[in-house]
Amino acid sequence: MDDPDQGKPPTFWQMLHSVLAAALGVQSGKNRARDFGHGKASHFIAMGTLFTLVFIAVLIGLAQLALHLTAR
């Protein structure tokens, strides 16, 4: 059976899913083939960079919260 999304570039949510899967080190072969076949590298680089910055900000925020709660 043919996938109806075959040949179309990945949507924002599909790219986000791929970036999160890459961060965890898990990705299905079907999604990987879609990303490499129809996605633009610049979009994945931008989304990966944004994800990394948000991830770092969350870690810093959690560390600050932990320090604030233990300083009482």
Between CA 18 and CA 15 the distance in angstroms is 5
Residue 2 has pLDDT above 60, yes or no: no
Task: Report CA Rg, the chain.
Answer: 17
Q: pTM of the predicted model, to two decimals?
A: 0.78
What pLDDT does residue 7 have?
76
What pLDDT does residue 72 have?
72
First CA to last CA distance, the chain: 61
Taking the CA atoms of 36, 40, 45 and 50 in sequence, report the sign of the dihedral they define. negative
Q: How many CB atoms lie within 10 A of CB 35?
A: 23
In this predicted model, what pLDDT tens digit does every residue of 6-59 receive, in sequence order?
678 999 999 999 999 999 999 999 999 999 999 999 999 999 999 999 999 999
Domain boundaries, the chain: 12-70
